Protein backbone atom coordinates (compact mmCIF):
# COMPACT_ATOMS: atom_id res chain seq x y z
CA UNK A 1 0.00 0.00 0.00
CA UNK A 2 2.90 2.38 0.78
CA UNK A 3 4.21 1.80 -2.75
CA UNK A 4 0.79 2.58 -4.16
CA UNK A 5 0.64 5.84 -2.18
CA UNK A 6 4.12 6.77 -3.40
CA UNK A 7 3.19 5.97 -7.01
CA UNK A 8 0.07 8.10 -6.70
CA UNK A 9 2.13 10.99 -5.31
CA UNK A 10 4.69 10.72 -8.15
CA UNK A 11 1.95 10.61 -10.80
CA UNK A 12 0.25 13.59 -9.18
CA UNK A 13 3.43 15.64 -9.14
CA UNK A 14 4.24 14.75 -12.78
CA UNK A 15 0.65 15.49 -13.76
CA UNK A 16 0.70 18.90 -12.10
CA UNK A 17 3.88 19.81 -13.94
CA UNK A 18 2.68 18.77 -17.40
CA UNK A 19 -1.09 19.29 -17.21
CA UNK A 20 -1.58 22.01 -14.61
CA UNK A 21 -3.70 24.19 -16.89
CA UNK A 22 -5.83 21.28 -18.09
CA UNK A 23 -6.45 20.02 -14.56
CA UNK A 24 -7.39 23.51 -13.37
CA UNK A 25 -9.96 23.69 -16.19
CA UNK A 26 -11.27 20.21 -15.39
CA UNK A 27 -11.75 21.19 -11.77
CA UNK A 28 -14.58 23.41 -13.08
CA UNK A 29 -16.43 20.45 -14.62
CA UNK A 30 -16.21 17.50 -17.00
CA UNK A 31 -17.39 17.29 -20.61
CA UNK A 32 -16.32 13.84 -21.85
CA UNK A 33 -17.48 12.85 -25.33
CA UNK A 34 -17.12 9.10 -24.81
CA UNK A 35 -18.45 6.46 -22.43
CA UNK A 36 -16.20 3.40 -22.17
CA UNK A 37 -17.70 0.17 -20.82
CA UNK A 38 -15.07 -2.50 -20.22
CA UNK A 39 -13.98 -5.47 -18.14
CA UNK A 40 -12.48 -5.09 -14.65
CA UNK A 41 -9.48 -7.21 -15.70
CA UNK A 42 -6.23 -5.78 -14.24
CA UNK A 43 -4.43 -6.13 -17.56
CA UNK A 44 -6.69 -3.58 -19.24
CA UNK A 45 -6.00 0.15 -19.04
CA UNK A 46 -8.76 2.02 -20.91
CA UNK A 47 -6.73 5.24 -21.14
CA UNK A 48 -3.92 3.23 -22.73
CA UNK A 49 -6.25 1.62 -25.29
CA UNK A 50 -7.85 4.95 -26.14
CA UNK A 51 -4.74 7.13 -25.78
CA UNK A 52 -7.01 9.29 -23.65
CA UNK A 53 -6.31 12.34 -21.53
CA UNK A 54 -8.07 13.36 -18.29
CA UNK A 55 -11.60 14.62 -18.83
CA UNK A 56 -12.24 12.84 -22.13
CA UNK A 57 -13.61 9.40 -21.17
CA UNK A 58 -16.40 8.53 -18.74
CA UNK A 59 -15.78 4.96 -17.63
CA UNK A 60 -17.49 1.98 -16.06
CA UNK A 61 -15.92 -1.44 -15.66
CA UNK A 62 -17.20 -4.76 -14.36
CA UNK A 63 -16.63 -8.45 -14.80
CA UNK A 64 -17.06 -9.40 -18.48
CA UNK A 65 -18.02 -5.86 -19.63
CA UNK A 66 -21.69 -6.53 -19.01
CA UNK A 67 -24.66 -4.20 -19.40
CA UNK A 68 -27.70 -5.75 -17.71
CA UNK A 69 -30.76 -5.28 -19.96
CA UNK A 70 -33.22 -2.48 -19.23
CA UNK A 71 -35.69 -5.04 -17.79
CA UNK A 72 -33.15 -5.94 -15.05
CA UNK A 73 -33.76 -2.57 -13.38
CA UNK A 74 -37.00 -4.09 -12.09
CA UNK A 75 -34.84 -6.58 -10.14
CA UNK A 76 -32.77 -3.75 -8.65
CA UNK A 77 -29.86 -3.92 -11.11
CA UNK A 78 -29.08 -0.18 -11.12
CA UNK A 79 -25.28 0.31 -11.13
CA UNK A 80 -24.70 0.27 -14.89
CA UNK A 81 -28.12 1.83 -15.58
CA UNK A 82 -27.15 4.86 -13.46
CA UNK A 83 -23.90 5.26 -15.44
CA UNK A 84 -25.83 5.09 -18.72
CA UNK A 85 -28.39 7.63 -17.54
CA UNK A 86 -25.74 10.06 -16.36
CA UNK A 87 -23.45 9.66 -19.39
CA UNK A 88 -26.17 9.85 -22.06
CA UNK A 89 -28.79 12.14 -20.52
CA UNK A 90 -26.60 14.52 -18.48
CA UNK A 91 -23.09 14.47 -19.99
CA UNK A 92 -24.55 13.83 -23.46
CA UNK A 93 -21.66 11.69 -24.68
CA UNK A 94 -21.57 11.22 -28.45
CA UNK A 95 -20.09 7.69 -28.43
CA UNK A 96 -20.28 4.56 -26.30
CA UNK A 97 -17.49 2.02 -26.69
CA UNK A 98 -18.28 -1.41 -25.28
CA UNK A 99 -14.96 -3.24 -25.16
CA UNK A 100 -14.39 -6.95 -24.53
CA UNK A 101 -10.94 -8.48 -24.48
CA UNK A 102 -9.03 -11.67 -25.27
CA UNK A 103 -8.39 -14.22 -22.47
CA UNK A 104 -11.38 -12.89 -20.47
CA UNK A 105 -11.80 -14.87 -17.25
CA UNK A 106 -15.48 -13.93 -17.05
CA UNK A 107 -16.10 -15.46 -20.46
CA UNK A 108 -14.13 -18.57 -19.53
CA UNK A 109 -16.28 -18.93 -16.41
CA UNK A 110 -19.51 -19.10 -18.43
CA UNK A 111 -18.91 -22.80 -19.07
CA UNK A 112 -19.14 -23.63 -15.34
CA UNK A 113 -21.27 -20.82 -13.99
CA UNK A 114 -23.32 -23.12 -11.70
CA UNK A 115 -20.20 -23.85 -9.63
CA UNK A 116 -19.51 -20.15 -8.94
CA UNK A 117 -20.35 -18.06 -5.89
CA UNK A 118 -23.82 -16.41 -5.90
CA UNK A 119 -22.61 -12.91 -6.81
CA UNK A 120 -20.64 -14.09 -9.82
CA UNK A 121 -23.39 -16.51 -10.83
CA UNK A 122 -26.04 -13.78 -10.77
CA UNK A 123 -23.85 -11.27 -12.61
CA UNK A 124 -22.77 -13.64 -15.38
CA UNK A 125 -26.39 -14.56 -16.17
CA UNK A 126 -26.42 -11.38 -18.27
CA UNK A 127 -23.74 -12.88 -20.53
CA UNK A 128 -25.16 -16.40 -20.64
CA UNK A 129 -26.99 -15.89 -23.94
CA UNK A 130 -23.62 -15.44 -25.68
CA UNK A 131 -23.15 -19.21 -25.30
CA UNK A 132 -26.21 -19.95 -27.40
CA UNK A 133 -25.05 -17.49 -30.07
CA UNK A 134 -21.88 -19.53 -30.74
CA UNK A 135 -22.43 -22.78 -32.67
CA UNK A 136 -21.62 -25.89 -30.54
CA UNK A 137 -19.07 -27.15 -33.10
CA UNK A 138 -16.82 -24.13 -32.39
CA UNK A 139 -14.45 -25.47 -29.73
CA UNK A 140 -11.37 -24.72 -27.61
CA UNK A 141 -9.56 -21.38 -28.11
CA UNK A 142 -11.72 -20.52 -31.11
CA UNK A 143 -14.81 -20.94 -28.92
CA UNK A 144 -13.50 -18.50 -26.29
CA UNK A 145 -12.71 -15.89 -28.98
CA UNK A 146 -16.15 -16.40 -30.54
CA UNK A 147 -17.82 -16.13 -27.10
CA UNK A 148 -16.00 -12.85 -26.40
CA UNK A 149 -17.24 -11.38 -29.69
CA UNK A 150 -20.78 -12.75 -29.18
CA UNK A 151 -20.86 -11.22 -25.70
CA UNK A 152 -19.87 -7.78 -27.04
CA UNK A 153 -22.78 -7.97 -29.52
CA UNK A 154 -25.14 -9.23 -26.80
CA UNK A 155 -24.21 -6.32 -24.53
CA UNK A 156 -24.75 -3.87 -27.43
CA UNK A 157 -28.26 -5.36 -27.72
CA UNK A 158 -28.72 -4.79 -23.99
CA UNK A 159 -27.60 -1.17 -24.41
CA UNK A 160 -30.24 -0.67 -27.09
CA UNK A 161 -32.93 -2.02 -24.73
CA UNK A 162 -32.71 1.29 -22.80
CA UNK A 163 -35.30 3.55 -24.46
CA UNK A 164 -33.18 6.72 -24.16
CA UNK A 165 -30.20 4.98 -25.79
CA UNK A 166 -32.27 3.56 -28.65
CA UNK A 167 -33.79 7.01 -29.19
CA UNK A 168 -30.42 8.82 -29.13
CA UNK A 169 -28.99 6.32 -31.60
CA UNK A 170 -32.04 6.67 -33.85
CA UNK A 171 -31.75 10.46 -33.93
CA UNK A 172 -28.01 10.31 -34.59
CA UNK A 173 -26.81 11.97 -31.38
CA UNK A 174 -25.21 8.76 -30.09
CA UNK A 175 -23.09 6.08 -31.75
CA UNK A 176 -22.49 2.61 -30.27
CA UNK A 177 -19.24 0.74 -30.91
CA UNK A 178 -18.39 -2.90 -30.13
CA UNK A 179 -14.70 -3.60 -29.70
CA UNK A 180 -12.47 -6.52 -28.72
CA UNK A 181 -9.01 -5.67 -27.39
CA UNK A 182 -6.31 -8.28 -27.93
CA UNK A 183 -3.98 -8.38 -24.92
CA UNK A 184 -0.98 -9.93 -26.67
CA UNK A 185 -0.92 -7.63 -29.71
CA UNK A 186 -2.59 -4.58 -28.08
CA UNK A 187 -4.74 -4.26 -31.19
CA UNK A 188 -8.44 -3.53 -31.31
CA UNK A 189 -11.00 -5.22 -33.54
CA UNK A 190 -14.22 -3.29 -34.08
CA UNK A 191 -17.61 -4.68 -35.08
CA UNK A 192 -18.75 -3.50 -38.51
CA UNK A 193 -22.50 -3.93 -38.97
CA UNK A 194 -22.25 -3.68 -42.78
CA UNK A 195 -20.15 -6.85 -42.98
CA UNK A 196 -21.47 -8.36 -39.71
CA UNK A 197 -18.02 -9.15 -38.32
CA UNK A 198 -15.14 -7.69 -36.33
CA UNK A 199 -12.41 -5.99 -38.35
CA UNK A 200 -9.06 -4.67 -37.23
CA UNK A 201 -9.03 -0.98 -36.51
CA UNK A 202 -6.62 1.53 -35.05
CA UNK A 203 -8.02 2.87 -31.76
CA UNK A 204 -9.26 6.42 -32.05
CA UNK A 205 -7.46 8.93 -29.84
CA UNK A 206 -9.70 10.98 -27.57
* Residue ranges that bind Zn ion, judged by CB under 5 A: 39, 41, 104, 106
CB of 32 to Zn ion, least distance (A): 23
Rounded Cα distance between 22 and 35, Å, is: 20
The answer to whether 190 and 179 are in contact (CB under 8 A) is yes
State the minimum distance, in angstroms, from the CB of residue 167 to Zn ion: 30
H-run or E-run covering 170: helix 163-170
Q: Which residues contact 92 (CB under 8 A, 6 or more apart)?
A: 173
- Label residue 44 left, alpha or beta by phi (over 0 means left) and psi (-120 to 50 means alpha): beta
Q: How far is the CB of 170 from Zn ion (least distance, A)?
A: 30
Is 182:124 a contact under the CB 8 Å cutoff? no
* Between 11 and 79, CB nearer to Zn ion: 79
Nearer to Zn ion (CB atom), residue 56 or residue 102: 102
Nearer of residues 134 and 174 to Zn ion, judged by Cβ: 134
Contact 127, 158 (CB under 8 A): no
Instruction: Give me the least distance between CB of 100 and Zn ion, in Å please.
Output: 7
Amino acid sequence: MDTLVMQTRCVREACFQTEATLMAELAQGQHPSLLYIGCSDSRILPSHILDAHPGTVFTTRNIANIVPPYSAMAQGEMAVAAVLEYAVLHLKVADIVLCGHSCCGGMQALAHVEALEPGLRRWLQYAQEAQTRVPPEVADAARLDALIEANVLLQLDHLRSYPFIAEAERTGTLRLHGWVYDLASERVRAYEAEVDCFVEEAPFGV
